[in-house]
C-alpha cells in the first residue's frame, strides 16, 4: 500500500470520526477540517511529517494547529495594516487568520531508521486525536464570534497575543470599546517602542471611530 494511502486511512479511521461537524479536505499535503460557527470559519489543520525507506514508513508525526477566521475582524485588519502598520512590522505580522496556533507542542525526537509498525502509526494518530478532542475542540467552541475573541483574550486563553495585537484592536473597535482598543495599541506598540505604529493606530481610531477622539491621546 502507498504511504499516502496509509496516512489517509489513518485519518479516515481515527481522526475524522472525532471531527463531527467539520468537512475534511486534503490540500498541499495537509488534512484540513473546516466548519462555520456563528461569525467564525474554524479549521483544524493536520500536517503529517513522514520519512520513508524502501517504501516503508520510518517516521510519522502529525502536527495539528487551529486556524480561526472572523471575517469582519479580518476586513478591518486589512484597512489597519494598510494605513497604520510600517513595512518593518508587517514583515513579522499575521495577515491571514484572525488567530492560529499549534495545539500540540510535545517535543518528539526523531527516531532512527527502524521501520514504524502499523501499531506505531496507529498510536500516533490516536495520540493526536486525543490532543484535538481535549484541547482544540474546546478552544474552538469558545471562538465563535468577535466578542468571543475579546473574551478569550481578556481571560488569557489566547497564546502568543503579541502576534495578534492588530486583530484584538480591531475586535475592540467593532465592539465600540475604543478605550481598550487604544490601551491594547499602547501595550503592544508604544510600550515596545513601535511609536510609528502606535501613533498611526491612535490617530486612526480618533479620526474614524465615533466617540473615540477622547482616547486618541492616551
Per-residue pLDDT tens for 138-163?
999 999 999 999 999 999 998 877 77
Residue 123 pLDDT greater than 70, yes or no = yes
- pLDDT, position 211: 53
SS3 of 192, please? helix
Q: What pLDDT does residue 152 have?
A: 95
Q: What is the pLDDT of residue 115?
A: 66
Can you tell me the mean pLDDT for 75-85? Answer: 91
- How far is Cα 78 from Cα 100, in angstroms, rounded to an integer? 17
pLDDT, the chain, mean: 86
Higher-confidence residue: 60 or 52?
A: 60
For residues 167 and 158, what is the distance between their CA atoms, to the nearest angstrom? 12
| Model confidence band, residue 194 (pLDDT cutoffs 50, 70, 90) | confident
Contacts of 120 (CB under 8 A, 6+ apart): 60
Which residues touch 73 (CB under 8 Å, ≥6 apart)?
Answer: 98, 146, 149, 167, 170, 171, 174
This prediction's pTM: 0.85
Predicted pLDDT at 210: 60
Please determine, for residue 199, whether its predicted confidence score (pLDDT) is greater than 90: yes
- In 3D, which of 187, 141, 142 has the Cα closest to residue 164? 187
pLDDT of residue 89: 74
Amino acid at each position: 500500500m502507498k504511504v499516502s494511502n496509509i496516512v489517509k486511512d489513518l485519518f479516515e479511521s481515527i481522526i475524522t470520526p472525532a471531527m463531527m461537524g467539520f468537512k475534511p479536505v486534503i490540500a498541499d499535503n495537509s488534512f484540513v477540517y473546516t466548519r462555520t460557527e456563528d461569525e467564525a470559519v474554524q479549521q483544524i489543520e493536520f500536517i503529517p511529517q513522514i520519512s520513508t525507506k524502501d517504501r516503508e514508513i520510518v517516521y510519522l508525526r502529525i502536527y495539528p494547529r487551529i486556524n480561526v477566521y472572523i471575517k469582519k475582524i479580518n476586513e478591518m485588519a486589512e484597512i489597519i495594516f494598510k494605513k497604520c502598520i510600517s513595512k518593518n512590522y508587517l514583515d513579522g505580522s499575521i495577515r491571514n487568520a484572525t488567530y492560529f496556533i499549534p495545539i500540540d507542542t510535545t517535543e518528539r525526537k526523531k527516531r532512527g531508521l527502524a521501520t514504524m509498525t502499523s501499531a506505531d502509526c496507529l498510536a500516533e494518530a490516536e495520540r493526536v486525536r486525543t490532543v484535538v478532542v481535549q484541547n482544540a475542540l474546546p478552544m474552538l467552541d469558545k471562538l465563535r464570534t468577535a466578542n468571543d475573541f475579546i473574551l478569550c483574550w481578556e481571560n488569557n486563553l489566547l497564546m502568543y497575543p503579541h502576534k495578534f495585537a492588530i486583530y484584538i484592536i480591531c475586535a475592540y473597535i467593532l465592539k465600540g470599546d475604543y478605550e481598550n482598543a487604544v490601551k491594547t495599541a499602547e501595550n503592544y506598540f508604544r510600550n515596545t517602542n513601535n511609536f510609528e505604529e502606535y501613533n498611526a493606530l491612535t490617530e486612526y481610531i480618533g479620526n474614524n471611530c465615533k466617540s473615540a477622539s477622547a482616547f486618541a491621546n492616551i
